[in-house]
Amino acid sequence: MRLSTKAQYAVRALVSLNLASAGNPVTIKDISEREKISLTYLEQLFVKLRRGQIVKSVRGPGGGYLLARAADQIRVDQIIDTVEEILVPVSCMNDDGSCGCDLECATQSVWQGLGNQIRSFLASMTLEDLTNDARRRLDQRFKEQVCF
């Protein structure tokens, strides 16, 4: 199973926003350059993230985007749900986890269980968790570059 680029890019962009923000708005252009994600694509994602109350926009000079609430209050599953359809592990499942096939699927319970595990895993992580992990990786990379 693969998450769409919408989900991947939205999560990456929000980690980047949280890393760079320090309480100040961050422009989509800055995130686009830092993450090497198309500016147009990010603009579309941020419209959805704003509607989903994950981010808020600040207009005018020095404007950009801020998180709409604390990073430890934004779960990864909420980000994914905001930018794309319901996450299901197989294409024949309905959004509610029921079988969407014309036949009653003998393996439906496996796919429902897998979907529940994936959702539970994504709901267990917050944007703050991912941001802290990214900071540790950046710090480690910096230490490796400084120490010859």
Q: Is the dihedral of CA 84, 87, 90, 94 positive or negative?
A: negative
Q: Quote the CA–CA distance of 32 and 16 in Å, as a whole number.
A: 10
Is 128 strand, coil or helix?
A: helix
pTM: 0.85
* CATH of segment(s) 5-146: 1.10.10.10
Sign, CA dihedral 66-14-29-52, equals negative
List, for residues 112-141, the tens digit of each pLDDT value. Answer: 888 889 889 999 999 999 999 999 988 787
Q: How far is the CA of 54 from the CAs of 1, 68, 119, 140, in angstroms?
A: 25, 5, 18, 29
**Domain extents in the chain:** 5-146
Average pLDDT over residues 13-18: 98
DSSP 7-53: HHHHHHHHHHHHHHHTTS-B-HHHHHHHHT--HHHHHHHHHHHHHTT
Mean residue pLDDT across the chain: 88
How confident is the model over 39-64, as pLDDT tens digits? 999 999 999 999 999 999 999 988 99
Q: Any residues with CB less than 8 A from the CB of 25 and at least 6 apart, and which?
A: 57, 58, 62, 63, 64, 65, 66
